[in-house]
Amino acid sequence: MPSQIRTNATILAHHLYDFAECEHRIALDVSLERSRRTPPDEAMELLFEKGRQFERQIVEPLGYPTVELREGDWEAAHAQTIELMRAGVPGIDQGVLIDGGRLARPDLLERVPGASTLGEHYYQPGDVKSARTARSDAALQVGFAALLLEKVQGRRPESGFLILGDGRREEIDLEAIRYTIDDAVARAERIVGGEEETRPFYSVSCARCRWRGECVPRLQEERDLSFVHGLTRSRNRVLRRHGVCTIDELATADVARLVEAGVPGDGLERAQAQARALVAGKASRVNAVKLPRGARRECYLRIEVNPLDDDQAMLLAWGEGAGGTIVDAQARVLSSAGERSGAWSELIGFLEATERREEPIYAFGSSTTRALEAMADVEGLPTSRAGDALGRIVDLAPWVRRAGVFPVFHYRFDEVAAVAVGSVRPSPASPDDAAFVLHAALGGADDASVRERLVAMGLDAVRSLFAIRMWLGRSS
Q: Is the dihedral of CA 141, 34, 199, 220 positive or negative?
A: positive
For position 5, what pLDDT does the model report? Answer: 39
Nearest 5°: CA angle at 307, between 304 and 308? Answer: 130
4: pLDDT strictly greater than 70: no
- Most confident of the ranges 36-50, 161-175, 240-254, 375-389: 240-254
Backbone phi, psi, residue 133, to 5°: -130, 145
Alpha carbon separation from 38 to 44, 111, 336, 409 (Å, rounded): 11, 39, 34, 21
Cα 466 from Cα 361, distance rounded (Å): 11
Alpha-carbon gap, residue 195 to 211, rounded angstroms: 21
Q: What is the mean pLDDT of residues 321-337?
A: 88
For residues 98 and 84, give the distance between their C-alpha atoms in angstroms, rounded to a whole number: 15
- In this predicted structure, what is the pLDDT of residue 167? 85
Residue 44's Cβ-count burial label (10 Å; 0-12, 13-18, 19+) is middle
Domains identified in the chain and CATH numbers: 11-192 (3.90.320), 204-280 (1.10.150), 285-476 (3.30.420.10)
| Mean local confidence (pLDDT), 254-278 | 93
- Give tens-digit pLDDT for 139-170: 999 999 999 999 999 999 999 999 988 788 99
**Selection from 218, 222, 227 nearest residue 274 by Cα:** 227
Q: Render pLDDT for 27-54 as a digit per residue (tens, 0 to 9).
A: 998 889 989 998 887 777 877 888 888 8
Average pLDDT on 46-71 reads: 88
